[in-house]
Amino acid sequence: MKTRDLAYVALFAAVIAVLGTLPAITVGPVPITAQTLGVMLAGSVLGARRGSLAVLLFLVLVAVGLPLLASGAGGLAPFAGPTAGYLYSWPVAAFVIGWLTERSWDRYDVLRGTLFNVVGGIVVIYAIGVPVLKAVAGLEWGAAFWSGAAVFVPGDLFKAVVAAAIADVVRRSYPVIERPRRTAESR
């Protein structure tokens, strides 16, 4: 990995941390935070590998005790609580968003970016987060889905559009994701 790549990874880990300073809105056991916007941005601006590494770096910093989550939490406790699944899903979400973005390099626009953010940043996060919430909090499926996903969809859709719009501008003005190289085998 090049020095520039390390700088991008560190920068986006910091972006996710800064988004955690915005006040969280508590709705049931899962708070509404701006940090998922950072996860979406990491994947859509940096691509699969660097985006997921940025999120992993952020989570390592949280695990060692830095209070970087929107609730001001840090340490290992958040990784064992009812919202742990959402944290575990973030690197996967950034990877999926980045992978989809890389595959549509020549056709990327805000609409496609929004779709990629919905798939990776909403579907993937809920698919991992809701079952963990159900198991840890002892909720029924309906209650887990309602309190851990359904109430967040409007805000997450807004974040998906914002991340796609920012990524589209960054892609056109300062492309961080390099154009996929064609190999002799892929021609």
Residue located via tokens 């998906």: 160
Structure confidence by residue, pLDDT tens digits, 90-116: 999 999 999 999 999 889 999 999 999
pLDDT of residue 23: 83
3-177 folds as Arp2/3 complex 21 kDa subunit ARPC3 (1.10.1760)
**If you search the block for the tokens 């910091």, which residue do you land on?**
14
Residue 187 has pLDDT above 90, yes or no: no
Average pLDDT over residues 165-169: 96
The C-alpha atoms of residue 78 and residue 147 are separated, in whole angstroms, by 18
* Residue ranges covered by each domain of the chain: 3-177
State the pLDDT at residue 96: 99
pLDDT tens-digit readout, 47-69: 999 999 999 999 999 999 999 99
Provide the mean pLDDT of the chain: 92
- Give the max Cα distance, the chain: 53
Q: Residue 106, CB half-sphere, CA atoms under 13 Å: how many?
A: 2
